[in-house]
Chain A
Amino acid sequence: MSHDWPLWEVFIRSKGGLSHKHVGSVHAPDGELALRHARDVYTRRLEGVSLWVVQSSDIVASDPDQSGPMFEPAETKIYRHPTFYDIPDAVGHM
């Protein structure tokens, strides 16, 4: 049965204020059941307060073959890290 079901990616918000994070995937015939399956598979130990499911085929992913041009140029641009800049005390936490 599950072989006929599409794959859904599961995202959990572990607590209020934090972002949803990808935790894995489930098979399900539709979104409603995907949520149930995600709940039953990934939140058994109080892992979260909110769930998202997205059909895997709806995700547009970067091409691994293009990872060179996509990501390597950033390697030499360490000055983009905010640690190089002085933050005035008045700003507090950014």
Chain B
Amino acid sequence: MAPSLPTIQPGDVANAEKARAGGSFDAGEAVEHHGALFDYLLRLGDDSLILGQRLTEWCGHAPALEIDLSLANIGLDLIGQASLFLNLAGEVEGKGRDGDRLAFHRDVLAFRNCLLVEQPNGDFAQTIARQFLFSTMQLSLFERLTGSSDHRIAEIAAKAVKEVRYHAELASDWVVRLGDGTEESRRRMVDGLDWFWRFVDEMFQSDEIEQSLTRAGIAVDRAELRQGFDATVGNVLRDATLPLPEYPRALTGGRIGHHGEHLGHLLATMQYLPRTYPDAVW
């Protein structure tokens, strides 16, 4: 069963932006997002948080015990990154919210992750396709963020970049193994990459928020990461004897809170406990 797609198109995003300023669609968000840095930290943190949560869904279900642990390790690394970014976001916001508050008590429209990370796991090849595309992007992003003029971001990136390098290597390795494996593994790998290709462009999109932070030396121009990404993906797919996916229609919207239906389901699972029992502690 193919999961349904978010319907947001690049043209719609522009319209949604206009509507947001005066409209009621997510009027609450305008009040909440008073700083570009806060928004940027949410983007970084939410990407890691949502993908980390997705990966935990493999716990106890992976094709082998060893892979179960591989995926859980990656998920835990990502949730650790999310915790650092979201705690910092809360600090920057200055309203007394910490990382947990931002992770567990925020509604779906306030999430700033890209659409790729919220997509369902599918089969193992599809999960690997998503991990490969995301970690390859995230590695180049964090490599550059280690030079951020905001030392707090630079420090988080420096810690995370080692983790992400391993994620990218592990995922690339599996892309080659599955792509250049059996007829069935190859078919599944091709399908997985095809499915996720439509979410690639969004990972490299920038907007006024990121451009202003880039000018200040805090953020990284995502468009500059694309060339390196394309080269790495090209090399790995060549090793895997796989064709480069071609998908004409890119889907975007995650960075301004326009998500697919999948994110709501994910959050329902993730946020259920702290929302039902707000006083619960470890």
Contacts and interface: CB of A to CB of B under 8 A. Distances in A.
Interface of A: 1-2, 5, 26-28, 32-33, 36-37, 40-41, 44
Contacts of A37: 66-67, 69-70
B64 A41 contact: no
A27 B64 contact: yes
Nearest to B73: A40
Contacts of A40: 66, 69-70, 73
Interface string B192-233: 000000000000000000000000000000000000000000
B66 A2 contact: yes
13 contacts: A1-B63, A1-B64, A2-B66, A26-B66, A27-B65, A33-B173, A36-B170, A36-B173, A37-B66, A40-B66, A40-B70, A40-B73, A41-B69
Q: Considering the complex of A and B, which 9 residue pairs feature the smallest CB-CB distances, nearest first?
A: A2-B64, A37-B66, A1-B63, A40-B70, A40-B69, A41-B69, A26-B66, A40-B73, A1-B64
Interface string B15-58: 00000000000000000000000000000000000000000000
Interface residues of B, number: 11
Given A32-B173, A37-B66, A40-B66, 4 more contacts: A27-B64, A36-B170, A40-B70, A44-B69
Contact of B63 (A2, A28, A33): A2
Contacts, number: 31
A44 B80 CA distance: 14
Nearest to A8: B66
Contact of B70 (A1, A2, A27, A36): A36
Contact of A5 (B64, B70, B173, B177): B64
Contacts of A32: 173
B118 to A, nearest CB: 25
Nearest to B64: A2
Interface in B111-152: none
Contacts of A41: 65-66, 69
A26 B66 CA distance: 7
Interface in B67-84: 67, 69-70, 73
Contacts of A28: 66
Contacts of A2: 63-66
A61 B73 CA distance: 34
A32 B69 CA distance: 16
A1 B177 CA distance: 14
Which of A1, A5, A27, A36 neighbours the largest number of chain B CB atoms within 10 Å of its CB?
A: A36
